[in-house]
Amino acid sequence: MCTVTYLPRPSGFILTHNRDEAPSRSSQSIVREKTPGGKTLLFPRDTLAGGTWIATSREGRTACLLNGAFVLHKRELPYRRSRGLILLDFFDWENPDIFFERYDFERVEPFTMLFLSKANFRKV
């Protein structure tokens, strides 16, 4: 089971993610790269599928992916796109609501995505 921890801080937050995956699915060290949309991301890259399970951008958006969704599912390989690549695709969309409305999720294994944006936080 994947575990996510969210710790609010006066200057933002700390988000941790324990990835529940086969040991053969190791990651490269932290990667910093620009997306096709020009966003700079910081994330660990999965060496098998090339995606990630957690990423953050300089623009103040952070997202993580959990395997599965609300209903237990049976794997139906092959899938059209890795969930970890979809997480990276997310950062190319300016509006998260439009991403979830318009992105093609057909033939993608179920997942849950959590995202945080500094636009949603304010100092109190």
**Given this model, what pLDDT does residue 119 score?**
67
**Given this model, what pLDDT does residue 93 score?**
92
* Cβ 47 vs Cβ 28: under 8 Å: yes
CA distance 24 to 40: 27
**Given this model, what pLDDT does residue 120 score?**
62
Domain boundaries, the chain: 3-120
**Given this model, what pLDDT does residue 2 score?**
74
CA distance 12 to 121: 8
**Given this model, what pLDDT does residue 35 score?**
74
CA distance 55 to 42: 6
What is the mean pLDDT for each group of 10 consecutive residues in the chain (124 residues)? 82 79 63 77 85 90 86 82 93 93 94 84 50
Residue 112: beta bridge partners? Answer: 66
What does R_g of the chain's alpha carbons equal in angstroms? 15
The strands making up 111-117's β-sheet, listed across from edge to edge, are 27-34, 40-46, 54-57, 61-67, 111-117
The pLDDT tens digits of the residues spanning 13-49 come to: 888 887 666 666 665 666 777 776 778 899 888 888 8
**Given this model, what pLDDT does residue 124 score?**
43
**Given this model, what pLDDT does residue 98 score?**
96
Distances (CA, A) of 88 to 34, 72, 75, 121: 10, 24, 22, 22
